[in-house]
Structure 1
Amino acid sequence: MATIKTYPAARRFLGTPTDYVVHLRRGEVAHQGVGQAFWFRPATAVLSEVPATDQELPVLFHAITADHQDVTVQVNVTYRFDDPVKVSQRLDFGIFPARQNAGGAQGAGAVGTGRQQVATIIGQLAQSRAVDHVATLTLTDALELGVGQVRAVLTDALRGDARLQSTGIAVLGVHVLAIRPEADVEKALQTPVRERVQAEADRATYERRALAVERERAISENELASRIELATRREQLVAQEGVNARREAEEAAAAALVEARAAAERRDIGAASKAQEVRLLGEAEAAKDAAAMAVYAGMDRGTLLALAVRDAAGALPKIDNLTITPDMLTGALAAFTQATTGGAR
C-alpha cells in the first residue's frame, strides 16, 4: 500500500512496486505507473491504486445435474489487470488518506470496492456458465468428466467475455478443484467402491491365507518326505547291517571251520605221528625183546637165574640184612660148579 506524507501546502505520494497508481488532476492523467512518487493537492487530485500483481479468486457455488442432483463446484480463477487506467475508470479503486504515521506520514487506505466488484463479475460469470454446463450432465458424468469439461467451458467463457476485456481484466487461468455431490449421495456412491475395495482386501487376505496354507502343506510334505527318506535309509542301513553281520558270522563260521579242520588235521597228523612212533617203539621193543630172547635161549639156567637176580635186584627195596639158608647156598654153589665145569670143557 502506498504512503502519503502530509505537508502544510501539499502532500507527497510514495508508491509501491506492486501497485499501479493513476493520478488524475482535473480529469486528466497527471501521473501513472508502478512505484511512482509525486506531489499533489488533495483539492484537485484523484488517486486510484490498481494491483499490478496476479490475483487469485476462489469461487464456490452449487449446481443441479440433469438427474436433479445437487453438486458443489469449487473453482479458482487467476486474473490480472492488463489496462490499469481503464480499470480505474470502470471500477472503484480510489484511495484516500486513512491514518497518520510517525513523522507526519499517512498510510493510503484503499476504500474503493474494486476488488469486490471484480470478484462479483468473475464469480457470477463463472457460476452461470458452469451451472449451464453441469445441467447437461448426469451426476455420474459430472463426477467423472465434469472437472475437465467445466474447466474448458469456464476458460473459454472468461477469456472471451466482452465485459472483462472492455474493463481491462485478463483471465490467466481457471482451475476446477472439485465437483462433489451432497454428503449422503457421496457416501452412497462411495459404498460400492468401499465394498469393492473391501472385497479386494478380503480376497487378498484369503489368497494370503491360502498361500500360507499351501506353503505349510508344502513344508509338511517336505518334512514327511524327509522322514520317509530317513526311514527308507534307516531300513536300508538295518538291512545292510544285517547282511554285514550275517556275512561276518558266515566268515567267522568259515574261519572257525577252517581252524577246526586245521586243528583236526593237526591232531590226525599228531596222532598218526604218535602212533607211528609207538609202532616203531613197539617194533623196536619187540625186536629188542626178540633179540634178548634169542640171546636168552642159548643160555643155561644158572646164567638166566643170575640175570634174573640182577634184574630183580634193581627193583628190590633196600635190604639191610640178608639171610642165606643152606638150601639156597647149596643150589647156588652147585649151579656155579656146573657152570665152571662146563666152561672148562
Structure 2
Amino acid sequence: AYKSEPIQRIETRLAGLVNQAALQYLALAPVRALLDGGPEPLRHQLETILAGDPALAEIGIAVTTIRLTNLAPSSELERALQTPTFEGLQQKADQATFERRALAVEKERAIAENELANKTELARREMLLITQEAENARNRATGLAEAQQIEAAAEAERIRTVESAKAETEQARMTIYRDLPPSVMLGLAARELASKLDTIEHLNITPDLLATVLGEFRRDAPALPRG
C-alpha cells in the first residue's frame, strides 16, 4: 500500500499525528494563554511526539526538527476572542467615566458642605456679635441710668442742703428780728424798702405816723445819765 502511493500516505499519517498532538496541546490551557505563549511550546511538543512515534519508525521516517512560523486563530475565533476584550475595555471605560462622575459629584458635595459650613460659621459669629453689641448697649444704658440716678441724688442732696441752710438762716434772722424793738424793726423795714427802690418821687408822712415813730423812739431809747 505504501509503495503505490507512498508520499500521500506519509503526508496523511503525519497530518493525523500533528492534528492529534495539536489538539492535545490546545486542551492544556485557555486559547488566550496558548496564543500569548506563541508557537514555540507547540513546536516543542509536536517535535517530541513525532520523534517518539513508533509508526513513523516502522516506515523508516525519523522527525528531527519541526518549524512553526506562526500560531494565530482563525478570523471567527479572533472575533470571538476580541469580543470579551472589547467588552472589558468598554466596561473599564464606563467604570472610569462613572468614577470620574462620582468624584466630580463628591467634590461638588464637599464644596457645597464647605460653603454651608462657612455660612453657618459666619451666621454664628454675626449672632455672637449682635448679642455682644446688645449686651454692651444694655451695660451702657444701665451705667448711664445709674450715673443719672447718682447725679440726681447728688443734686437733690445739694438742693436740700442749700434749702436747709436758707431755712436756718431765715430762722436765725427771724429770731433776731423777734427780739428787736418795734422802732428798730421799723427802721430796718424802711432801709429794706429804700434798697428796693431806685428813686422816691413822693413820700407822705402824716402827723400821726410821725408821732408814733417818735414815741416809739423815745420809749426804746436808753435814758441819758444826768449830770
TM exceeds 0.5?
yes
Judged with a 3 Å threshold, the aligned counterparts in structure 2 of structure 1 residues 157 and 203 are, in CA distance, closer, same or farther, namely same
Q: Within the alignment, does 1:224 sit opposite 2:105 as a pair?
A: yes
Indicate how the Cα distance of structure 1 residues 285 and 325 shifts in structure 2: closer, same or farther if over 3 A, else same: closer
State the match for 1:279 in structure 2. 160
Shift, 1:130, TM fit:
5.4
Tell me which of 197, 206, 212 is aligned to 2:78: 197
User: What letter corresponds to residue 343 of structure 1 in structure 2?
Assistant: A
Alignment of 1:62-101 (within 5 A): none
Q: 1:226 to 1:279 in 2, by over 3 A?
A: same
Residue of structure 2 equivalent to 1:181: none
- Give a deviation string over 1:269-325, Cα, whole Å, max 9, x none: 212111111111111111111111111212244433443444455554x44xx3233
Indicate if the aligned counterparts of 1:134 and 1:142 stay in contact, CA closer than 8 A. Answer: no
| Residue 114 (structure 2) pairs with residue 233 (structure 1) | yes
Letter of the 1:278 counterpart: I
Which residue of 248, 255, 259 maps to 2:140?
A: 259
Report the Cα distance in structure 1 between the residues aligned to 2:78 and 2:106, rounded to whole angstroms.
41
Please give the secondary structure, in 2, of the residue aligned with 1:324: coil
Matches of 1:329 and 1:198 in 2, distance apart?
161
Distance between the aligned counterparts of 2:203 and 2:168, measured in 1? 39
Q: Secondary structure at the match of 1:344?
A: coil
Amino acid at match of 1:327: I
Q: Answer 1 or 2: which has greater helix percent.
A: 2
Deviation, 1:176, is 6.3
Pairing partner for 2:180 from 299, 303, 328? 299
Q: Report the residue type matching 1:239 in the other structure.
A: T
Structure-2 separation of matches of 1:324 and 1:265:
60
In the alignment, which residue of structure 1 is the partner of 2:202?
Answer: 324
Distance 1:338 1:230, change over 3 A: same
Q: What CA distance in whole angstroms lies between the structure 2 residues aligned with 1:130 and 1:332?
A: 195
Aligned match of 2:34: none
Higher-RCO chain (CA-CA 8 Å, sequence separation at least 6): 1
Contact 1:129–1:157 (Cα < 8 Å) also in 2: no
Whole-angstrom distance in 2 between the partners of 1:243 and 1:303: 85
Q: What are structure 2's unaligned runs of at least 5 residues?
A: 23-41
Q: Secondary structure at the match of 2:205?
A: helix
Report how many residues are paired: 187
Q: Deviations over 1:253-276 (max 9, x none)?
A: 222222222222222221211111
Matching residue of 2:222: 344
Q: Structure 2 matches for 1:1-345, cutoff 5 A?
A: 131-136=8-13, 137-138=15-16, 141=19, 193-316=74-197, 318-319=198-199, 322-327=200-205, 331=209, 335=213, 338-339=216-217, 342-345=220-223
**CA displacement 1:83-125 (0-9 Å, x = unmatched):** xxxxxxxxxxxxxxxxxxxxxxxxxxxxxxxxxxxxxxxxxxx
Closer/same/farther in 2, CA of residues 339 and 260 from structure 1, 3 Å limit: same
Query: 1:139: Cα distance to partner?
Result: 10
Measure, in 1, the Cα distance between the counterparts of 2:67 and 2:85: 36
C-alpha offsets along residues 197-217 of structure 1, whole Å, 9 cap, x if unaligned? 233334323322221221222
Equivalent position amino acid for 2:171 in 1:
A
The sequence identity of aligned pairs, in percent, is 16
What is the TM-score of this pair, normalised by structure 2? 0.60
Q: 2-side partners of 1:212 and 1:142: how far apart?
A: 41
Residue type of the alignment partner of 2:203:
T
Output the CA distance in 1 between the equivalents of 2:127 and 2:65.
100
Gaps of 5+ in 1: 1-127, 160-172, 179-189
Larger Rg: 1
Distance (Å, rounded) in 2 between the aligned partners of 1:283 and 1:302: 30
